[in-house]
């Protein structure tokens, strides 16, 4: 009898320890999940806090629309950098979008499964190649090509279009950065777009073809409209990648803080500004908080794009 009592007691306590352990683990796991949110808020608050001193001498609208960036005179106008960021990103997207969309439609709708099976890992590997490598290729191939071929021929072919005229003698320019960015985001865009197109139900295609539509008509009237929001989300994701891209752009864009007027002018995007000025910014008052303000601006834009694309993509793919 004694033995039986001891046994039942032991069972009870063992179940209790298991429960306690489970509860402790749950608390630990939930705590580390909360850490994710903490990281996010830490990034935002630290940037806000470090940019605070700047707002006492320059108001945020002034900061964003100011055209002159002369830290030693206390002039902090971010506009050249904002325009540099948007020009390079916009151009990169303009190059990458048609190529990626056409390639993705081909891979999803026309290609044999074998082709798709070969291309997919290649795209994954290319998406993993470091940005420095793309930047190096830009310096070796794109910049000389822009300098000796694109810039002269475009300015001769369109003598009255200001977009193609530039006094920049080097190939380090917005268009070089656009080309390099397009190549960097194309693998990501294609992979994502193929996935989105394949998520369109097969039955829709069958229905379209059953009433006599050709393959392209099916793509045009059924698949693309159905996948449109996902494709746009993919594009936004690619844009936010391009906005924050640092090294590859920094290496080919020229880094001159002027308002760009032509595709062949140099520019100075925000990530390059941050990367280039970390060394000396401590010696000039307000310089560090101006850089933090620039980082904050970049972060806010990227966050907006990111949240938008994740919300849409989640609905499309799940």
Q: Looking only at residues 166 through 185 of this chain, which bind another protein when binding is defined by CB under 8 A?
A: 183
Among 39, 68, 75, 228, binds another protein (CB under 8 A): 39
Please pick, from the candidates 21, 65, 149, 158, the single residue that binds another protein as defined by CB under 8 A: 21
Nearer to another protein, 165 or 270 (CB): 270
Which of 70, 214, 221, 280 lies at the binding interface for another protein (CB under 8 A)? 214
Residues 84-113 that bind another protein (CB under 8 A): 98-100, 102-103, 105-107, 110
Nearer to another protein, 259 or 300 (CB): 300
**Which residue of 88, 240, 255, 262 would you call a contact of another protein, by CB under 8 A?**
240
Q: Is 72 in the site for another protein (CB under 8 A)?
A: no
The DSSP bridge pattern shows strands 75-76 and 69-70 to be antiparallel
Can you tell me which residue has the tokens 């004694």? 2
Supply angle C-alpha 123, 124, 129, rounded to 5.
95
The sign of the CA dihedral 155, 161, 166, 170 is negative
188 part of the interface to another protein, by CB under 8 A: no
Binder of another protein out of 93, 290, 295, 312 (CB under 8 A): 295
* CB nearer another protein, residue 81 or residue 166: 81
Closest to another protein by CB, 37 vs 61, is: 37
Structure tokens at 199: 């998520």
68 forms part of the interface with another protein (CB under 8 A) = no
Q: Per CB under 8 A, which region of 5-13, 61-69, 226-234, 299-307 contacts another protein?
A: 299-307
Can residue 33 be called a binding residue for another protein (CB under 8 A)? yes
Q: Which of 28, 52, 68, 75 binds another protein (CB under 8 A)?
A: 28
Task: Find the part of the chain contacting another protein (CB under 8 A) among 53-61, 64-72, 224-232, 296-304.
Answer: 296-304
Q: What is the DSSP string of the chain?
A: -HHHHHHHHHHHHHHHHHHHHHHHHHHHHHHHHHHHHHHHHHHHHHHHHHHHHHHTTS-HHHHHH---EEGGGTEE--HHHHHHHHHHHHHHHHHHHHHHHHHHHIIIIIS-HHHHHHHHHHHHHHHTS-HHHHHHHIIIIIHHHIIIIIHHHHHHH-TT-GGG-----SS-SHHHHHHHHHHHHHHHHHHHHHHHHHTS-HHHHHHHHHTT--HHHHIIIIIHHHHHHHHHHHHHHHHHHHHH--HHHHHHSB---S---STTS-B--HHHHHHHTTTTGGGSTTHHHHHHHHHHHHHHHHHHHHHHHHHHHHHHH-
Among 146-154, 169-177, 197-205, 208-216, the segment contacting another protein (CB under 8 A): 208-216
Compare residues 193 and 257 and give the one whose CB is closer to another protein.
193
Q: How far is the CB of 195 from another protein (least distance, A)?
A: 12
Q: At what angle do helices 287-317 and 2-55 cross, to 10 degrees?
A: 130
Query: C-alpha angle 216/217/223, rounded to 5°?
Result: 85
Instruction: Please identify which residue in 171, 230, 266, 271 interacts with another protein, judged by CB under 8 A.
Output: 271
Stretch that binds another protein, among 53-61, 65-73, 160-168, 305-313 (CB under 8 A): 305-313
* Selected range binding another protein among 43-51, 147-155, 159-167, 257-265, rule: CB under 8 A: 43-51
Candidates 152-160, 165-173, 196-204, 310-318; binding stretch for another protein (CB under 8 A): 310-318
Are 302 and 243 in contact by the 8 Å Cβ rule? The answer is yes
Q: Which of residues 129-148 bind another protein (CB under 8 A)?
A: 129-137, 139-141
């Amino acid at each position: 009898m004694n033995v039986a009592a001891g046994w039942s007691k032991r069972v009870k306590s063992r179940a209790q320890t298991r429960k306690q352990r489970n509860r402790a683990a749950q608390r630990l796991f939930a705590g580390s999940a909360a850490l994710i949110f903490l990281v996010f808020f830490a990034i935002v608050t630290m940037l806000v806090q470090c940019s605070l001193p700047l707002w006492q001498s320059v108001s945020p609208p002034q900061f964003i629309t100011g055209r002159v960036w002369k830290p030693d005179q206390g002039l902090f106008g971010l506009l050249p950098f904002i325009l540099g960021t948007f020009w390079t990103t916009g151009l990169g997207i303009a190059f990458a979008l048609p190529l990626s969309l056409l390639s993705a439609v081909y891979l999803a709708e026309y290609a044999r499964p074998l082709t798709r099976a070969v291309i997919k890992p290649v795209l994954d590997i290319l998406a993993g190649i470091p940005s420095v490598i793309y930047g190096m290729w830009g310096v070796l191939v794109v910049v000389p090509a822009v300098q000796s071929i694109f810039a002269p021929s475009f300015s001769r072919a369109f003598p009255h279009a200001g977009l193609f005229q530039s006094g920049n003698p080097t190939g380090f320019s917005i268009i070089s950065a656009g080309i390099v960015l397009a190549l960097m985001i194309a693998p990501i865009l294609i992979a994502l777009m193929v996935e989105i197109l394949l998520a369109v139900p097969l039955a829709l295609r069958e229905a379209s073809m059953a009433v006599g539509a050709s393959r392209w008509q099916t793509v045009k009237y059924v698949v693309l409209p159905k996948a449109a929001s996902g494709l746009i989300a993919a594009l936004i994701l690619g844009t936010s990648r391009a906005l924050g891209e640092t090294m590859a752009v920094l290496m080919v864009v020229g880094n001159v803080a002027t308002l760009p007027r032509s595709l062949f002018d140099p520019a100075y995007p925000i990530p390059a500004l941050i990367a280039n000025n970390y060394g000396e910014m401590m010696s000039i008052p307000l310089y560090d908080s101006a850089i933090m303000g620039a980082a904050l601006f970049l972060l806010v834009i990227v966050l907006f794009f990111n949240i938008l694309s994740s919300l849409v993509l989640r609905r499309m793919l799940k």
